[in-house]
Amino acid sequence: MFSGSLVALITPFAEGQVDYETLRELVDFQINSGIDGIVPVGTTGESPTLSHEEHQEVIRVVVEEVDGRVPVIAGAGSNSTAEALKLTRFAKEVGADATLQVAPYYNKPTQEGLYQHFATIAAEVDLPMIIYNIPGRCVVNIEPRTLVELAKIENIVAVKEASGQLDQVSEIATRTNLTILSGDDSLTLPIASVGGQGVISVVANIVPTDVKAFTDAILVGDFATARQWHNKLFALGKALLSLATNPIPIKAAMAQLHMASEEVRLPLVPLAAAKKEILANILTEYGLLA
Do 151 and 177 form a contact (C-beta atoms < 8 A)?
yes
Positions annotated as catalytic residues are: 132, 160
Beta-strand pair 73-75/129-133: unpaired
Beta-carbon contacts of residue 244 (< 8 Å; ≥ 6 apart): 271, 272, 275
Chain centre distance of CA 167: 21
Q: Which bin fits 221, alpha (ψ -120 to 50), beta or left (φ > 0)?
A: left
For 126, counting Cβ atoms within 10 Å of its Cβ (0-12 exposed, 13-18 middle, 19+ buried), the class is exposed
SS3 label, residue 251: helix
Query: CA 64, CA 77: separation in Å to the nearest integer?
Result: 21
**224, containing H or E segment:** helix 223-242
* CA gap 189, 198 in Å, rounded: 9
Q: Is 215 exposed, middle or buried (0-12, 13-18, 19+ CB in 10 A)?
A: buried
